[in-house]
Chains A and B, each alone.
Chain A
Amino acid sequence: MSPDTEPVLEVEDLHKHFGGLKALDGISFCIAPGEILGLAGPNGSGKTTCINAITGVFGLDSGAIRFAGKTINRLPTYRRVRLGINRSFQVPSPFLGLSVMENVTVASVYGGNKKRDPDHILEITGLAQIKDRLAGSLNSSQQKLLDLARALATDPRLLLVDEIGAGLNPNELARMTDQLRALAAQGIALLVVEHLMDFLDRVTDRIVVMDAGKELFSGQLYEAAEDPRVVEAFLGG
């Protein structure tokens, strides 16, 4: 993040526990407009929990989430969406009984910005040819694209992308890389949660590595690969 750019998202000292499990344990980071921040870490390190907290799927025990300078901790999810936060899901979650077009239209109508044309969104995500098909009839990678299209239809300023690369073939990964970089070029801030290091390397500007709900490392991916704490977290002691 360049020092003269105001962050669009600031998360500060987030804490969340489920029973005895500390899912988030003091994680903090920020993202600037147009920046792509990677969030990496072993399974169970709190990456998806972090996305759920930012989008308001569940509340925090403590900590602050500021979007465009405004604290949004207590806002319900749909209000956060209308402010400009959206996400894709680790397991694609489109509206299976609705058509591809209806999936995008509902987000376009309710997501806060009616100027986003669903046809245009389907065009840029490569779903225009199948817009009349039911979402339930799509394969997994098409459903991931539809998740992304639904998110884009709300005109987000911050997009949280949860393991969108998993299950994609090399060609699809390359296209997804280009798409995400194109979105960042438009000024959208992206938080990319991913296990595929090569994909993260090609997409992100910098990464934060999490372990047990805490920040383990922040910086460039190649530096992370040489950090003994990161190596230990991924490979074990």
Chain B
Amino acid sequence: MVVAITVLAYVFIPYGYNNQFLLFNMMMYMALAQGLNIIYGYTGYLPFGYVGFFGAGAYGSALVIIYLHWSPFPAVLLGGLAAVLVGMLLIPLFRLSGAYFSIANLAAAEALYYIIANPHLASVTQGPYGISLPQVYDPNAAYWTMLAILVFALILSGLMRRSRFGLALGAIRENPVSAEMAGVNVVRSRAIAWLLSAFIAGVSGAAFGWYISVFYPETVFSLSITVFAIVFVLFGGSGTLLGPLVGTLVLYGAYNYIGISTPQYFQLTYGLLIILLVLFLPSGLTSLLRKRGIDVP
């Protein structure tokens, strides 16, 4: 039902509301929040460098469009695979835990940013001069692709949550040593969740690059993308399918509303909202439903 409502909303809202870019971004953040939810909400690992996958996806797809003349749809998929490749390279980071993992992951994303933005590699990555994709510019097609990615992320996240695999991930999140003692292959399960999470960020980045068609390394490796995704997950409630959706809807909606209506109070209001939530609803908005005995999907 969550998936159906989401699809209907994004199919029909554009008929009465013409800010397609805002809708696109909201879908993108919902997908990113759901991808982050898979690795953070289900296994407890918080990747501060999640944007690295997003940027890898944007650049991976853009480069095959430019150099190999791929059409955008397979290029988006390749963007996802580029992020998976980066994810595989970063699997050794799971030797770390807690803040150490988060910071090492952030460092890895920054390293990737500096490699992409390196002027000496401009012949390959276009370096700091950015990417331009006028040959495939088609925001409508990119919009529907982003919706398909969001649906994929929701279905994947929902299936994982209800499956035995989801139960194993929950066990890992609670106590990795006990999870091993329950027979769970912790290393493999965590890696699968990590790579699925990376894939969602990668295809999202690829679709974003396609939508805007002109972007720079700092656009798609901006730390604010990770921060937004993390805050949306926490605000809605991690470890649930609904939480990241609600978090994105409320906070990204507020972000845009306040930013347009009363920009002078934007930082104050937005910060206050987050502080209030941390103080009074540390498990997110959806915990209000759980406290009333309502099962949150």
**What secondary structure prevails in chain B residues at the interface with A?**
helix
Question: Residue-by-residue, is A26-52 near B (CB-CB < 8 Å gives 1, otherwise 0)?
Answer: 000000000000000000000000000
Chain B interface size range: 10 to 19
Residues on B lying within 8 angstroms of A by beta carbon are 164, 167-168, 170-171, 173-175, 177-187
Chain B residue at minimal CB-CB distance from A77 = B180
The 4 closest A-B pairs by CB, nearest first: A111-B183, A95-B174, A110-B183, A107-B182
Report which of B168, B170, B181 forms a contact with A150, defined as CB distance below 8 A: B181
The interface residues of chain A lying within 8 Å CB-to-CB of B182 are: 81, 106-107, 110-111, 150, 153-154
Check B183–A81 contact: CB distance below 8 A. yes
In angstroms, Cα B44 to Cα A96, docked, is 13
Chain B residue at minimal CB-CB distance from A150 = B182
The interface residues of chain A lying within 8 Å CB-to-CB of B187 are: 76
In angstroms, Cα B181 to Cα A81, docked, is 6
A77 and B181 in contact, given A95-B174, A96-B174, A97-B174 (Cβ under 8 angstroms): yes
Check B173–A106 contact: CB distance below 8 A. no
In angstroms, Cα B177 to Cα A153, docked, is 16
Chain A interface size range: 20 to 34
Within the complex, what minimum Cβ distance (angstroms) separates A58 from chain B? 10
The interface residues of chain B lying within 8 Å CB-to-CB of A55 are: 181
The interface residues of chain A lying within 8 Å CB-to-CB of B178 are: 89, 93-95, 150
The interface residues of chain A lying within 8 Å CB-to-CB of B175 are: 93-96
The interface residues of chain A lying within 8 Å CB-to-CB of B170 are: 95, 97-98, 102, 106
Identify which of residues 148-205 in chain A touch chain B, using a CB-to-CB cut-off of 8 Å: 150-151, 153-154
The interface residues of chain B lying within 8 Å CB-to-CB of A15 are: none
Within the complex, what minimum Cβ distance (angstroms) separates B27 from chain A? 30
Report which of B173, B174, B183 forms a contact with A112, defined as CB distance below 8 A: B183
The interface residues of chain A lying within 8 Å CB-to-CB of B174 are: 94-98
A109 and B167 in contact, given A95-B174, A95-B175, A98-B174 (Cβ under 8 angstroms): yes
In angstroms, Cα B176 to Cα A77, docked, is 11
In angstroms, Cα B182 to Cα A154, docked, is 7
Identify which of residues 46-102 in chain A touch chain B, using a CB-to-CB cut-off of 8 Å: 55-57, 76-78, 81-82, 86-87, 89, 93-98, 102
Check A78–B171 contact: CB distance below 8 A. no
Question: Residue-by-residue, is A96-133 near B (CB-CB < 8 Å gives 1, otherwise 0)?
Answer: 11100011011101111000000000000000000000
In angstroms, Cα B187 to Cα A94, docked, is 19
The interface residues of chain A lying within 8 Å CB-to-CB of B183 are: 78, 81-82, 107, 109-112, 154
Check B167–A102 contact: CB distance below 8 A. yes
**Most chain B beta-carbon neighbours within 10 Å: one of A102, A110, A151, A153:** A110
The interface residues of chain B lying within 8 Å CB-to-CB of A86 are: 181
Within the complex, what minimum Cβ distance (angstroms) separates B29 from chain A? 26
Report which of B168, B173, B177 forms a contact with A110, defined as CB distance below 8 A: B168
The interface residues of chain A lying within 8 Å CB-to-CB of B168 are: 106, 109-110
In angstroms, Cα B184 to Cα A98, docked, is 15
The interface residues of chain B lying within 8 Å CB-to-CB of A95 are: 170-171, 174-175, 178-179
The interface residues of chain B lying within 8 Å CB-to-CB of A106 are: 164, 167-168, 170-171, 179, 182, 184
The interface residues of chain A lying within 8 Å CB-to-CB of B186 are: 78
